[in-house]
Amino acid sequence: MSKLSEIRNKLLQAQQAKSNAVAQLDPKAKAKRLKRLKELLARLKKGEDITRRDLKGVLTDEQWQDFENANEYLKVDYTQVLERPQELNMYLDKLKQGDFYHARAESTPVTARSRIDSRNRHGRLRLHHQAESAYEDAVMYLCDLLDGNDAQLAQEVRLWLDREVDTSASNAPNADPQSVPRVKGSRSIHSESANGGATKFDLKRQYKREAIENAIARLKS
């Protein structure tokens, strides 16, 4: 089993490496590769899987090594060797705030005597809006972590989440207690940890998708 420090070093080396493979492609070859990348991405978005051979065929050597390094994390038992990233503490604080307002909203009755504010909202609706705002902040913060420049942190964060997370604008988690990702081991009734959370298959497919999306962005830059 690979040691966590070894995996981190590989990711760091991959981030620092520079490749001219994409720049050396002529426009026709770039267009062909871009088309193939989009085809594979469409399959993944539909819930299908793609083979390692297909993926390797459209990535540069550097991009393929990045993908392989990400998969090294799947060989690590995170419960034994991987401490929860401190960056998740702020995310948990935002979730806790959202859960607080949501619970208050659910326990607040609406009657004919309920006070209505200037925006025509009664107390329960105001609390729901506050909860939604807190969940939105949490999701934005989490997506920033997963899409940031620190690849090793993003991989570690994913290992601690109870579900697969798609950070694309159209597929990011909704701002409600059922949809926001929870940390594995969470006691929340909305946690998916009881069902095992994201499986290794889910994570592998997510890594494939990220590798393709990064390759597409690289070709377009």
* Closest to 209 in 3D by CA, of 88, 85, 58: 58
pLDDT-based confidence at 36, cuts 50/70/90?
Answer: very high
Q: What number is the average pLDDT over the span 119-138?
A: 87
- Higher-pLDDT residue of 203 and 84 is 84
Closest CA to 73 of 9, 16, 13: 9
In the prediction, which pLDDT does 93 show?
Answer: 96
pTM over 0.85: no
The predicted structure's pLDDT at residue 186: 81
Element at 126 (helix H, strand E): helix 123-147
Q: Any idea which of 46-55, 67-76, 191-200 has the lowest mean pLDDT?
A: 191-200
Average pLDDT, the chain: 81
Structure tokens at 128: 């729901």
DSSP assigned state of 189: T
- The pLDDT, as a whole number, for residue 98 is 95
15 has a pLDDT exceeding 70? no
Q: How confident is the model at residue 1 (pLDDT cuts 50, 70, 90)?
A: very low
Helix pair angle (4-16, 151-160), 10° resolution: 140
